[in-house]
Amino acid sequence: MKRREFITRGSLGALGLSIGDISVAASAGNQTTDKRRKILISGGGLNKSFINYLIKLTGKKKPRVCFLPTAAADDPRVALYWYQLCAGLDMVPFVQNMFITSYYMKESFEDVLLSMDGIVVGGGNTLNMLAIWKAQGIDKVLYRAWEKGIVLSGGSAGSLCWFEEGTTDSRPKELTKIECLGFLEGSHSPHYDGEEERRPRYHQLIRSGELKPGYAVDNNAAILFIDRKVSKVIASDKNSNAYYIEMVDGKIRESVLKPDVIL
């Protein structure tokens, strides 16, 4: 398998790093057998415990897992952190940038992403990420990946993107509503315990009817959806939870979804 740098030399080249090794041919015989549609969302950023959990969800001994740093504008420091987290895990990690050039990337985005067993979306500006994905057709590729049984995952922008809608800090001044991919029904608020404005603003938007009922998740908690339904809630510490927020008899009801703590 040949190793090939698939990003422009001006990004990670300055750090002497090569991100990639995405060879579509290398995926031969590594097809996903579990066709259930799985999405693992967490409230915060990248988390080694959740990456390890995703590996198990693929059902593969050494799955190919690709990280999309689009929301962070393909920041090479985020890509480096991804590789550091994956060190020692039973997986083959990749990074796929969106800020590319045809001179250095010869496979299509579709060929690359559909050759994976798992896809993890990083945090950052959700609004900008979705706009780039739409321009490049990534939204349609990710839907195909989901339908194929490739495990989708992410935290922050990488969790928000899968829902119909939610709250985002991608615009100036305040948290606002954003419409997303709609793979999962309802709304979502990440960083529920990590940012002071998240909880009251999410309640306010649901109370007003601007947002549908939905799921709020603390930074160190995660929810696994299988075929659009909650299958399991996990956390990497005993103080983090997930929640379902809805209006009942004219009042906000916050139901705690207690997690299993994993290491």
Domain boundaries, the chain: 37-261
Whose CA is closest to 112, among 139, 86, 141, 90? 141
Q: What is the pLDDT of residue 33?
A: 67
Annotated catalytic residue: which of 11, 115, 187, 191? 191
Task: For residue 259, give the DSSP letter.
Answer: P
> Of the given ranges (31-40, 154-163, 225-234), which has the lowest mean pLDDT?
31-40
Q: What percent of the chain has pLDDT over 90?
A: 86
Residue 119: band (very low, low, confident or very high) from pLDDT cuts 50, 70, 90: very high
- What is the per-residue pLDDT for 209? 97
Catalytic status, residue 156: yes
> What CATH number does the domain located at 37-261 have?
3.40.50.880
Name beta bridge partners: 67.
Answer: 95, 120
pLDDT range class, residue 28, cuts 50, 70, 90: very low
Q: Note the pTM of the prediction, 2 decimals.
A: 0.88
* Two tokens, residue 127: 């609004």
pLDDT (tens digit, 9 = 90+) per residue, 69-98? 999 999 999 999 999 999 999 999 999 999
Per-residue pLDDT reduced to its tens digit, 183-227: 999 999 999 999 999 999 999 999 999 999 999 999 999 999 999
What is the mean predicted confidence (pLDDT) over 3-28? Answer: 35
Q: What's the confidence (pLDDT) of residue 14?
A: 30
Identify the active-site residue in 11, 156, 170, 240. Answer: 156
Active site annotation includes 191: yes
Q: How far apart are CA 138 and CA 181, in angstroms?
A: 11
C-alpha span between 205 and 258 (Å, rounded): 24
